[in-house]
Amino acid sequence: MTKVVSFDLDGTLIDRTFMDSLWFDGFSRRYAERWGVSQEEALREVTRRYDGVGMERLEWYDIDYWWKEFDLGGSWRDLVDEFRSSVRAYPEVHEVLDELHRRFKLIIITNGARELVEVEIEQAGLNDYIDRMFSASSDFKLVKKTSGFYSDILKAVGVSPAEVVHVGDNWVFDYLAPREAGIRAFFLDRDGKQSGESVVRDLREFSRQLL
């Protein structure tokens, strides 16, 4: 019997506007101001440096690392505050979470850094629905949500694989990895490119699979 419903965050509960705007628009603007270059040149340099590190390293997710790497001065928290208003939950999220949290424990499992994830959850008004949040990069020093990572989450929450259902928008990290850990998983495909009994178009469709 399902006791815990687990959600990915970006691309699942919250759209990517905040993260994309912060990391590209925000950082490139600050870089341009700090080093006296054009916005276009700053964006090219910021992107080049991101690509040089890559998603396989923990630094990729660490905003404090990048702030120091670009030597931007002041605090990155001020920049985050500028972009808070761009945090947006998908249209059906509050309705679905309000319904599901009455029957299940709800958790978030994400690769994102805890500092930014907490901003997203608060700004989107999700705190009242979410029981716990786990960050692979901040809490477990992992750059991927592996099957072992999901097994560690099960231990932390105190449930068996059969008592958890997960949903997210990455085929490998949100579908294959939890399934390898014995967790029932659904792939969220908002673009409608895939089909199958474990593929859902939005979270309303997902919730109907549970209730």
- Tens digit of pLDDT for each residue in 87-126? 999 999 999 999 999 999 999 999 999 999 999 999 999 9
Q: What is the pLDDT of residues 132-164, one digit of tens each?
A: 999 999 999 999 899 999 999 999 999 999 999
**Level-2 CATH architecture, domain 4-15+88-210:** 3-Layer(aba) Sandwich (3.40)
Q: State the distance between the two ends of the chain, measured CA to CA, in whole angstroms.
A: 12
Residue 31: band (very low, low, confident or very high) from pLDDT cuts 50, 70, 90 = very high
The pLDDT value given to residue 211: 79
> Does residue 169 contact residue 203 with C-beta atoms inside 8 Å?
no
Distance CA 128, CA 54 (A): 34
| Cα distances (angstroms) measured from residue 88 to each of 166, 170, 211 | 21, 19, 26
Average pLDDT, the chain: 95
Which amino acid type is present at position 72? L
